[in-house]
């Protein structure tokens, strides 16, 4: 019976933690993107433009060129520079190489400083490395920027629907965990504990710690694994690590050079130091700009910073 209880507890706790920490956030993003996709294109694109204002952009032309179709380029200004914006609203849309080539040509023909392709869908993997004058923003990156701008009623409805789905999934996980624990108890008898052996093992371990660290522990301390993996893998690792920091609900890459951290309250020096410590080991990404996004309803302005490595 003890074995069944332990197995059910471990499986249920692990499954519940994953559902609430990972799956619930993914559900909120999916529901939010569907809500944006259900809007009229003009309404949805205005949210995109408002989200880009936090990065210094301002709208120069809010309506598409009627000669180029509904999703034609919009004009943005950033200082003295002119940028082109193309927004694809569908959640199933995938940015392909042809679209990037068209935007590059449009940037050259209009003498613009750069172009932005934003979509509620996804970006083909090989396009993650694209011409520097073109920025690609997919739905997962766009949602954290737009979410604080939504009307409270719509935002609360999305959160409530995601919570109901996660609660239902949590119940299913615990039922499966209990069944797994019961089946395991039929196959694995409860272990018989030998108190004499446990005492001897504990004494031996204490004596070994008193003599100093073992050779294996010393080797592990000396040979710390270096940062490895592709740039995309490193970006995912950074987002995951920053999202686990205290006071930060989630993180994402707004652009290839801008990391967005959604803070639960006004950003503290402790949070800033934590983000910089996460970026420090990544030589190619440590100089990225960090955008501290305040929580929805906060009057605190968006804050930008760059870690000082001098």
Indicate whether 48 and 186 sit together in one domain: yes
The answer to whether 130 and 136 are in contact (CB under 8 A) is yes
Q: Any idea what the CATH number is for the domain that residue 139 is in? A: 3.40.1350
Most trustworthy range by pLDDT among 67-71, 112-116, 246-250, 305-309: 112-116
Same domain flag for 240 and 182? no
Pick from 105-119, 129-143, 238-252: least confident: 129-143
Among 14-23, 95-104, 285-294, 298-307, where is mean pLDDT lowest? 298-307
User: pLDDT at position 216, please?
Assistant: 44
178 and 30 in a common domain: yes
Q: Are residues 133 and 259 in the same domain?
A: no
Measured distance CA(89)–CA(37) in Å, rounded: 6
Same domain, 146 and 252: no
For residue 58, the model assigns a pLDDT of 87
Q: Is residue 204 part of a domain?
A: no
State whether residue 82 is helix, strand or coil.
strand
Q: Is the pLDDT assigned to residue 211 strictly greater than 90?
A: no
Residues sharing a CB contact under 8 Å with residue 57, sequence separation 6 or more, in sequence order: 49, 76, 77, 78, 83
Question: Domain count of the chain?
Answer: 2
Is 273 found in the same domain as 147? no
Question: CA dist 16 to 23, 82, 170, Å?
Answer: 10, 48, 6
pLDDT of residue 222: 35
Say what the pLDDT of residue 202 is. 53
Check whether residue 247 and residue 153 sit in a common domain.
no
Res. 218 pLDDT band, cuts 50 70 90: very low
Q: Is 224 exposed, middle or buried (0-12, 13-18, 19+ CB in 10 A)?
A: exposed
Q: Alpha helix locations (H) across the chain?
A: 2-18, 24-38, 41-53, 97-109, 139-146, 152-187, 195-211, 215-222, 231-243, 269-279
What are the φ and ψ backbone dihedral angles of 119, each rounded to 5 degrees?
-150, 150
Helices (H) and strands (E) in the chain, counts: 10, 11
- Alpha-helix residue ranges (DSSP H) falling in 188-287: 195-211, 215-222, 231-243, 269-279
Angle at 148 (CA atoms; ends 146, 151), nearest 5 degrees: 95
Q: What's the average model confidence in pLDDT over 112-126?
A: 88
> Is residue 70 predicted with pLDDT exceeding 90?
no
Q: What is the pLDDT of residues 177-209, one digit of tens each?
A: 889 888 887 877 554 444 455 555 555 545 554
Q: Taking 50 as the threshold, does the pLDDT of residue 269 lie above it?
A: yes
Give the domain range for residue 297: 231-305
Distance from C-alpha of 145 to C-alpha of 123, rounded to nearest angstrom: 17
CATH number at residue 253: 3.30.300.30
Radius of gyration of the chain (CA): 25
209, part of any domain: no
Q: CA 8: distance to chain centroid?
A: 30
pLDDT at 144 over 70: yes
According to the model, what pLDDT value does residue 215 have? 47
Cβ atoms of 242 and 223 within 8 Å: the answer is no
Q: What is the mean pLDDT of the chain?
A: 80
Which positions ≥6 away from 134 have C-beta within 8 Å? 100, 103, 104, 107, 114, 115, 116, 117
Does 165 fall in a domain? yes
Full-model pTM? 0.53
Residue 255's pLDDT band (cuts 50, 70, 90): confident
């Amino acid at each position: 019976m003890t074995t069944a209880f332990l197995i059910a507890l471990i499986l249920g706790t692990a499954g519940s933690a994953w559902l609430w920490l990972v799956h619930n956030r993914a559900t909120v993003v999916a529901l939010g993107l569907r809500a944006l996709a259900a809007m009229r294109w003009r309404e949805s694109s205005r949210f995109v433009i408002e989200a880009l204002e936090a990065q210094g952009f301002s709208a120069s032309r809010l309506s598409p060129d009627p000669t180029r179709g509904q999703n034609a380029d919009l004009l943005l200004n950033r200082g003295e520079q002119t940028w082109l914006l193309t927004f694809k609203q569908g959640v199933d849309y995938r940015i392909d190489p042809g679209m990037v080539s068209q935007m590059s040509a449009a940037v050259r023909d209009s003498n613009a400083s750069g172009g932005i392709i934003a979509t509620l869908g996804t970006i083909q993997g090989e396009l993650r490395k694209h011409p520097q004058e073109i920025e690609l923003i997919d739905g997962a990156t766009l949602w954290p920027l737009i979410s604080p701008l939504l009307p409270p009623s719509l935002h609360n409805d999305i959160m409530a629907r995601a919570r109901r789905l996660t609660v239902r999934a949590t119940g299913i996980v615990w039922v499966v965990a209990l069944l797994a624990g019961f089946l395991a108890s039929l196959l694995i008898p409860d272990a018989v504990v030998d108190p004499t052996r446990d005492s001897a093992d504990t004494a031996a371990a204490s004596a070994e710690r008193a003599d100093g660290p073992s050779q294996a522990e010393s080797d592990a301390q000396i040979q710390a694994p270096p940062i490895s993996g592709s740039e995309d893998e490193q970006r995912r690792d950074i987002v995951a690590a920053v999202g686990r920091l205290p006071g930060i609900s989630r993180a994402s890459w707004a652009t290839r050079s801008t990391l967005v951290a959604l803070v639960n309250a006004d950003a503290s020096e402790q949070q800033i130091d934590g983000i910089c410590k996460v970026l420090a080991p990544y030589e190619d990404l440590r100089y990225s700009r960090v955008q501290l996004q305040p929580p929805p309803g906060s009057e605190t302005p968006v804050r930008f910073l760059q870690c000082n490595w001098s």
